[in-house]
Amino acid sequence: MSHHAVLETVCGNCGAELQGAFCHACGQKVTGPDVSLHDFFHEAFHEFAHLDGKIVQTLRLLMTKPGMLTKEFLEGRRARYISPLRLYLTCSLLFPAAVQRYQQEASLQAGHALVHDFPRVMFALMPVFGLLTWVLYRKARPFYAAHLYYSVHFHAFVFAALTLEVSVILVAGRYAPSITGLTAPAILVYHYLSLRRVFGGSHLATAWKGTLLAITYVLIIFSTMVAVGLRSVTTSGIPTPVTTEVK
């Protein structure tokens, strides 16, 4: 706490009476009206170090223990991790950036619109995926919010896995196909393991419910992407070729 902060008796943000280094009402750190350079750099370092630590811990749990991050949130252990939405946005923004770098390296402009639209489509479909899991597992988790948490975490993993795949292609070059062929099976295995960890049930129940969920959702994604692609073509303003009649 800075020297100026010691002199403060009320919170500058909400006006509550101060009782410590942080306001008990709104949580703001106690600071005086004049912030020193030391205060600025100390707070910046603390924020970056704290956020970096949370990101590493969140990604490690997301990637190595399917469904465990969702369980942690549902059981109330949330402060140690970044929010599900921030996690999804981080992973989904890294994917098109990695693909763009790959296209530049390989000298490709093709599929740019598809890559650009894919994260947006997936973001829009996350509530649909949560609704599908709710239909199949509403007895285990009756509240929809739990399924939405699961959906956001699962989609974040998918984008993280796809980003890792593109990164491997960039690094490994022609040796990459033997490695990247594992991405789709890894996502499928993750899908079944995370379902069972979060929602429970027997291996047989997880198998048929997970398969039904995967097939249904892939069809929804495919049909949505086709619709988005057709809409992009019809609204792009591309002139139609004019045919001349030969006399």
Digit-coded pLDDT (tens) for 141-160 = 999 999 999 999 999 999 99
> pTM of the full predicted structure?
0.74
Q: What is the pLDDT of residue 135?
A: 97
Give me the residues of the chain with pLDDT under 50, please: 1-6, 238, 240, 242, 244, 246-247
Residue 40 lies in a domain: no
Residue 119 lies in a domain: yes
Burial of 100 (0-12, 13-18, 19+ CB in 10 A): middle
Residue 246 lies in a domain: no
Domain residue limits at 212? 69-234
Domain count, the chain: 1
